[in-house]
Amino acid sequence: MVGAAPPRAPWRFRQPSALPGFGLTFGFAVTYLSLIVLVPLAALVVRASGLGISGIWRIATTPRVLAALETSFGLSLAAAAANAVFGLLVAWVLTRYDFPGRRVLDAVVDLPFALPTAVAGIALAAVYAPTGWIGALFAPFGIQIAFTPLGIFVALVFVGLPFVVRTVQPVLADLDREIEEASATLGATRRQTILRVVLPTLLPAVLTGFALAFGRAVGEYGSVIFIAGNIPFRSEIAPLLIVIQLEEFNYAGATAIASVMLAISFLLLLAINLLQMFSRRRFGHV
> What confidence score (pLDDT) does residue 19 get?
57
> What confidence score (pLDDT) does residue 16 get?
60
> How sure is the predictor about 286, in pLDDT bands with cuts at 50, 70 and 90?
very low
The whole-number average pLDDT for the span 161-189 is 83
The whole-number average pLDDT for the span 208-233 is 91
Rounded CA-CA distance 267/269 in Å is 6
pLDDT 10s digits, 19-42: 566 777 778 888 988 888 888 888
pLDDT at 187 over 80: no
> What confidence score (pLDDT) does residue 69 get?
94
> How sure is the predictor about 204, in pLDDT bands with cuts at 50, 70 and 90?
confident
pTM (2 decimals)?
0.84
Fill in the amino acid letter for 168: V
Helical ranges in the chain per DSSP H = 22-33, 39-49, 52-60, 63-96, 102-108, 111-114, 117-128, 135-138, 149-174, 177-185, 190-193, 199-218, 222-228, 238-247, 251-283
> What confidence score (pLDDT) does residue 1 get?
45
CB distance 123 to 151 below 8 Å: no
Rounded CA-CA distance 149/132 in Å is 17
Give the Cβ contact number of residue 75 at 10 Å: 26
Nearest residue to 75 (alpha-carbon basis) of 155, 166, 143, 145: 155
Distance from chain centroid for Cα 87: 12
Rounded CA-CA distance 27/96 in Å is 42
Fill in the amino acid letter for 170: P
Rounded CA-CA distance 286/262 in Å is 28
Rounded CA-CA distance 206/276 in Å is 9
